[in-house]
């Protein structure tokens, strides 16, 4: 069909016609997809929660598919309504020995709560996790540290539900139980310990940062933010609004760069703990102004104070009760809590599931309200 010289030239000069066709097709497909995205919008539905005034861009956008995906730990929750006490029923303190908390519960509700705590904290070890392998007659003994700690944790849970209602139930009744943190584990995930100087061979401020740690959210920010703000109770601050201030930053009444970096480290932690961005709490035009923040800012501020009390009044004082393997790897300190210990990456723990409705015994330090 073609002249001989043309066929010979083609044989002597082969050309790969497929490669440029593939490249052109790929580029053309990408251009077409980009054009469709611009013309028709994001194909994956998103939902935005407005956190501030309209027109300010203060919103938290999330994929609808992610919002529809439940926290897998919700599946571990079961309905377990209380037994309404009958007049004259025997109480746990009159039946069992050494019942220092929950003694005013009826036998049925006392054992119902003990069974639930086993599901929440030690589903594999069962009752023996706190009471040992002895007969039921030995359950009153305090031979295991786990029982001593559990007793104090019951008191802490009751206090959280009673004294910190403004944070725990800010939007609706949610409540706190052992399940909120433990999720079927002996030790809750996302607890924390003191880090100390993570760069021990370096002098100065650098000894607190520039090393990837969980506490710094794997950034170069300081690793002691949780310690300073959620244990020591230092003031969270970034800078002074004046351009020049007399005195020494950090010591003369206004924060220095170290406090600013610590604050950024803490804010990163809070954002990751709740799965939100900065404008969930702050007005992006005036981060510093407490009069322009969102309602969530007040809820979070209460949460910070709540965690301070948890750590200082309940968790740290238990240090002498723990065996060495349960203490921190650097300072042998007691495990402590923070936002992520409960929230696990969600705006509300267990996505706002009401976990307290079946457990009036944990809702107050006083007599439970069974609604009768």
Annotated binding site: 114, 127, 130-131, 153, 167, 178, 181-182, 267, 278, 281-282, 339, 342-343
Residues annotated within the binding site for heme are 114, 127, 130-131, 153, 167, 178, 181-182, 267, 278, 281-282, 339, 342-343
User: How many other C-beta atoms lie within 10 A of the C-beta of residue 357?
Assistant: 14
- The CA distance from 215 to 193, in Å, is 9
Q: DSSP assignment of 278-343, as one string?
A: GGGTS-TT-TT-GGG--HHHHHHHHHHHHHHHIIIIIIGGGGGGS-GGGS-TTT-PPPB--HHHHH
Locate 54 and state its tokens: 């309209």
Q: Can you tell me which residue has the tokens 């750590």? A: 311
Q: In this structure, what are the phi and psi dihedrals at residue 33, rounded to the nearest 5 degrees? A: -65, -45
Q: Judge contact between 282 and 150, C-beta under 8 A.
A: no
- The CA distance from 35 to 216, in Å, is 40
Locate 150 and state its tokens: 């559990």
- The CA distance from 36 to 186, in Å, is 51
- The CA distance from 372 to 139, in Å, is 31
- The CA distance from 43 to 29, in Å, is 16
Q: DSSP assignment of 91-143, as one string?
A: BHHHHSSS--SSTTSBHHHHHHHHHHHHHHH-TTTTTHHHH-SS-GGGTT---
3-state helix, strand, coil in the chain (%, to 5): 45, 5, 50
Burial of 271 (0-12, 13-18, 19+ CB in 10 A): middle
Q: Judge contact between 174 and 190, C-beta under 8 A.
A: no
Q: Judge contact between 279 and 57, C-beta under 8 A.
A: yes
- The CA distance from 178 to 121, in Å, is 7
């Amino acid at each position: 069909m073609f002249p001989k010289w043309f066929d010979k030239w083609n044989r002597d000069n082969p050309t790969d016609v497929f490669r440029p066709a593939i490249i052109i097709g790929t580029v053309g497909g990408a251009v077409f997809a980009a054009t469709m995205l611009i013309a028709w919008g994001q194909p994956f539905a998103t939902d935005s929660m407005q956190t501030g005034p309209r027109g300010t861009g203060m919103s938290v956008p999330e994929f609808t598919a992610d919002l529809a995906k439940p926290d897998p730990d919700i599946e571990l929750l079961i309905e377990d309504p209380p037994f309404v006490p009958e007049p004259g029923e025997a109480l746990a303190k009159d039946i069992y020995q050494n019942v220092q908390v929950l003694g005013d519960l009826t036998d049925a509700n006392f054992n119902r709560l003990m069974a639930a705590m086993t599901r929440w904290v030690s589903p594999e070890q069962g009752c023996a996790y706190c009471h040992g392998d002895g007969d039921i007659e030995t359950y009153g003994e305090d031979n295991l540290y786990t029982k001593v700690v559990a007793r104090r944790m019951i008191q802490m849970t009751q206090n959280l539900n009673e004294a910190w209602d403004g944070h725990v139930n800010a939007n609706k009744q949610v409540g706190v139980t052992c399940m909120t943190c433990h999720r079927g584990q002996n030790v809750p995930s996302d607890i924390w310990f003191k880090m100390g100087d993570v760069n021990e061979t370096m002098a100065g401020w650098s000894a607190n940062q520039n090393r990837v740690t969980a506490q710094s959210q794997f950034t170069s920010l300081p690793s002691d933010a949780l310690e300073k703000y959620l244990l020591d109770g230092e003031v969270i601050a970034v800078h002074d609004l004046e351009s020049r201030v007399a005195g020494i930053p950090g010591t003369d009444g206004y924060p220095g760069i170290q406090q600013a970096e610590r604050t950024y480290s803490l804010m990163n932690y809070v954002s990751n703990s709740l799965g939100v961005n900065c404008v969930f709490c702050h007005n992006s035009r005036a981060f510093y102004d407490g009069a322009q923040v969102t309602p969530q800012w007040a809820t979070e501020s209460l949460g910070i104070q709540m965690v301070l009390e948890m750590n200082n009044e309940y968790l740290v004082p238990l240090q002498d009760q723990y065996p060495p393997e349960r203490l921190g790897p650097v300072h042998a300190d007691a495990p402590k809590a923070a936002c992520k210990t409960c929230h696990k990456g969600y705006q509300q723990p267990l996505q706002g599931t009401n976990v307290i409705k079946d457990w009036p015994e944990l809702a107050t330090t006083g007599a439970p309200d069974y609604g009768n």
